[in-house]
Amino acid sequence: MSTLEQLYQANITLLHEAGVPFQQWQHEPILDFATDEK
């Protein structure tokens, strides 16, 4: 598991433990301003 994935999972765990409601969603990678503007 990559460090980025470990960090992501650690944050999800903290949100669950704290009872914080959240939604997960995926989008294409944003690598430049043009993509971000879409």
Amino acid at 4: L
Whole-number CA gyration radius for the chain: 13
Q: Per-residue pLDDT tens for 7-28? A: 999 999 999 999 999 999 888 8
Does the pTM exceed 0.85? Answer: no
What is the reported pLDDT for 25? 86
Contact 18, 11 (CB under 8 A): no
**Quick one: average pLDDT of 31-38?**
83
Q: Is the pLDDT of residue 38 over 80?
A: no
The CA-based angle 2-5-8, given to 5 degrees, is 150
